[in-house]
Amino acid sequence: MSTIIGGLKYAESHEWLKDNGDDSVTCGITDHAQHQLTDIVFVELPEIGKVFKKGEQIAVVESVKAVSDIYSPVSGEVIEVNSRLEDNPEMLNKEPYTNGWILKLKISNPEEIAFLMESFKYKEFIGE
């Protein structure tokens, strides 16, 4: 059974989003996603300053099992990346909601957050 954190928003593509209370959000992959991938061995992070639209591929995660695209849950500009993942990609397996965050975005369309799932909806979505 996957850990699901209340207060976060979830995308159907298994990314989570935390509203930072300003005009930025922190994003990562869900516990469910990291369980599906198994042992993560590499993370390709986006460049700071790059702008993405909701649903665009924003990062890549490689595990011993598969290579998976990570999609932007909202539109915005990358303002920070978790560079610790470059040397420690396994943080995505161990701490997907804390030290395993992937990036921070300055959101360009805050209304898009409302279209993401609440924790209880995401739990239903993944069948738990």
Q: Which residues 6+ apart lie within 8 Å of 20 measured at CB?
A: 26, 104
Read off the pTM.
0.93
Please indicate, yes or no, if residue 76 is contained in any of the structural domains. yes
pLDDT tens-digit map of 12-53: 999 999 999 999 999 999 999 999 999 999 999 999 999 999
Confidence category of residue 1, pLDDT binned at 50, 70, 90: low
Q: What is the CATH number of the domain that holds 29?
A: 2.40.50.100
Instruction: Name the average pLDDT for the chain.
Output: 94
Q: Average pLDDT, stretch 101-120? A: 96
Question: Would you list the DSSP string of 10-66?
Answer: E-TTSEEEEE-SSSEEEEEE-HHHHHHH-SEEEEEPPPTT-EE-TTSEEEEEEESS-
Please indicate, yes or no, if residue 125 is contained in any of the structural domains. no
Please indicate, yes or no, if residue 36 is contained in any of the structural domains. yes
State the total domains in the chain.
1
